Amino acid sequence: MQILKRTVSKPSAFFSLNLIKVSLTNLLIPLYRHHHCYYHHQHNIKSFSRTMSVSAISDELKKLGLSQPDPVKESLPEYNIVDVFKNYITDELHRITEADKSIIFDALDTPKVLDQGDIIVALPRLRIKGIKPNEKSQEWAEQFNKGKFISEARPQGVFIQFFFNRSLVYDLVIKDVLKRKTEYGYLPLGVGKKAIVEFSSPNIAKPFHAGHLRSTIIGGFISNLYEKLGWEVVRINYLGDWGKQFGLLAVGFEKYGSEEQLAKDPINHLFEVYVKVNNDVREEASEATGEPAVADAADADEKKVQASSTNEKARQFFRRMEDGDESALKIWRRFRDLSIDKYIDTYARLNIKYDYYSGESQVPQEKMKEATKLFEDKGLVHVDRGAKLIDLTKFNKKLGKALVEKSDGTSLYLTRDVGEAIKRYETYKFDKMIYVIASQQDLHCQQFFEILKQMGFEWAKNLEHINFGMVQGMSTRKGNVVFLDNILQETKEKMHDVMKKNADKYAQIEEPDKIAELVGISAVMIQDFQSKRILNYEFKWDRMTSFEGDTGPYLQYAHSRLSSMQRKSDISEEELENANFDLLTEPCAANLVRTLLQYPDIIRRASHNNEPSTIVTYLFTLCHIVSQCYDILWVAGQEREVATARLALYAATKQVIYNGMTLLGLTPVERM
Ligand SMILES: *[C@@H]1O[C@H](CO)[C@@H](O)[C@H](O)[C@H]1NC(C)=O
Q: Map 216-241 to HEC letters.
A: HHHHHHHHHHHHHCCCEEEEEEEEEC
Is the CB of 171 inside a 6 Å radius of any atom of ligand 1?
A: yes
The 3-state DSSP class for residue 162 equals strand
Is the CB of 168 inside a 6 Å radius of any atom of ligand 1?
A: yes
Q: For residues 282 and 303, what is the distance between their CA atoms, to the nearest angstrom? A: 12
Section 213-233 average pLDDT: 97
Centroid of chain to Cα 331: 35
pLDDT in tens, 382-400: 999 988 899 999 999 999 9
User: Catalytic residue numbers?
Assistant: 206, 209, 212
Section 416-421 average pLDDT: 87
Domain ranges for the chain, please list them. Answer: 55-164, 484-664
- CB–CB of 6/440 below 8 Å? no
Counting from 1 in the atom list of ligand 1, the atom nearest the Cα of 167 is: 5
Q: Is the pLDDT of residue 634 over 90?
A: yes
Q: Map 260-316 to HEC letters.
A: HHHHHCHHHHHHHHHHHHHHHHHHHHHHHHCCCCCCCCCCCCHHHHCCCHHHHHHHH
Side-chain-facing half-sphere of 215: CA atoms under 13 Å:
30
Section 648-663 average pLDDT: 98
Counting from 1 in the atom list of ligand 1, the atom nearest the Cα of 146 is: 14
Of 536, 483, 615, the residue nearest 200 (C-alpha): 483
Rounded to 5 degrees, φ, ψ at 156 are -155, 95
Is the CB of 61 inside a 6 Å radius of any atom of ligand 1?
A: no
Q: For residues 51 and 551, what is the distance between their CA atoms, to the nearest angstrom? A: 36
- CB–CB of 228/187 below 8 Å? yes
Label residue 413 by pLDDT band (50, 70, 90).
Answer: confident
The 8-class DSSP code of residue 638 comes to: S
Give CATH for domain 55-164: 3.30.1360.70
Q: For residues 101 and 653, what is the distance between their CA atoms, to the nearest angstrom? A: 33
- CB–CB of 58/78 below 8 Å? yes
Q: How far is CA 598 from CA 59, 67, 79, 593, 601, in A?
A: 21, 21, 12, 9, 5
Encoded amino acid at 5, one letter: K
Q: Is the pLDDT of residue 336 over 90?
A: yes
The 8-class DSSP code of residue 379 comes to: T
Label residue 255 by pLDDT band (50, 70, 90).
Answer: very high
Ligand 1, atom 10: closest residue by C-alpha: 148
Q: For residues 577 and 653, what is the distance between their CA atoms, to the nearest angstrom? A: 13
pLDDT in tens, 292-301: 888 888 888 8
pLDDT in tens, 9-61: 333 322 222 222 222 222 232 222 222 222 333 333 444 455 445 788 999 99
Label residue 417 by pLDDT band (50, 70, 90).
Answer: confident
pLDDT number for residue 33: 23
- CB–CB of 389/405 below 8 Å? no
Q: Is the pLDDT of residue 140 over 50?
A: yes
pLDDT number for residue 37: 27
Centroid of chain to Cα 305: 40
Whole-structure pTM over 0.85, yes or no? yes
Of 489, 505, 635, the residue nearest 557 (C-alpha): 505
Encoded amino acid at 65, one letter: G
Label residue 528 by pLDDT band (50, 70, 90).
Answer: very high
Q: Is the pLDDT of residue 475 over 90?
A: no
Is the CB of 167 inside a 6 Å radius of any atom of ligand 1?
A: yes
- CB–CB of 190/229 below 8 Å? yes
- CB–CB of 456/486 below 8 Å? no
Strand partners, 433: 196, 463
Q: In angstroms, what is the span from residue 168 Cα to ligand 1's centroid?
A: 6
- CB–CB of 343/358 below 8 Å? no
Centroid of chain to Cα 134: 44
Mean pLDDT for the chain?
Answer: 88
Terminal C-alpha separation, the chain? 51
Q: Is the pLDDT of residue 81 over 50?
A: yes
Q: For residues 606 and 487, what is the distance between their CA atoms, to the nearest angstrom? A: 28
Section 267-290 average pLDDT: 91
| Count of CB atoms situated within 10 Å of the CB of 468 | 24
For residue 154, give the H/E element and its range: strand 150-156
Q: For residues 390 and 507, what is the distance between their CA atoms, to the nearest angstrom? A: 65
Looking at 93-97, 359-363, 555-559, which range is the least confident one? 359-363
Strand partners, 356: 236
Residue in 167, 172, 582, 583 to alter for ligand 1 test, most ligand atoms within 8 A of Cβ: 167
| Shared fold status for 55-164 and 484-664 | no
Detail the DSSP E strand segments found in 536-642. 537-538
- CB–CB of 248/316 below 8 Å? no
**CATH H superfamily, domain 484-664:** Isoleucyl-tRNA Synthetase; Domain 1 (1.10.730.10)
Section 392-418 average pLDDT: 85
Q: For residues 81 and 292, what is the distance between their CA atoms, to the nearest angstrom? A: 67
The dihedral built from the CA positions of residue 191, 196, 199 and 203, taken in this order, carries a sign that is positive
Label residue 242 by pLDDT band (50, 70, 90).
Answer: confident
Looking at 103-112, 205-214, 525-534, 650-659, which range is the least confident one? 205-214
Label residue 207 by pLDDT band (50, 70, 90).
Answer: confident
Encoded amino acid at 484, one letter: L
Q: Is the pLDDT of residue 565 over 80?
A: yes
Label residue 227 by pLDDT band (50, 70, 90).
Answer: very high
Q: In angstroms, what is the span from residue 170 Cα to ligand 1's centroid?
A: 11
Q: For residues 98 and 381, what is the distance between their CA atoms, to the nearest angstrom? A: 56
Is the CB of 638 inside a 6 Å radius of any atom of ligand 1?
A: no
Q: In angstroms, what is the span from residue 166 Cα to ligand 1's centroid?
A: 8
Measure the CA dihedral 388/393/397/398, to 10°: -20
Is the CB of 224 inside a 6 Å radius of any atom of ligand 1?
A: no
Q: For residues 255 and 275, what is the distance between their CA atoms, to the nearest angstrom? A: 12
pLDDT number for residue 358: 87
| Edge-first strand listing for the sheet containing 194-198 | 356-359, 232-239, 194-198, 432-436, 463-466
Is the CB of 148 inside a 6 Å radius of any atom of ligand 1?
A: yes
Ligand 1, atom 14: closest residue by C-alpha: 148
Q: For residues 99 and 518, what is the distance between their CA atoms, to the nearest angstrom? A: 52
Label residue 103 by pLDDT band (50, 70, 90).
Answer: very high
Q: Is the pLDDT of residue 6 over 80?
A: no
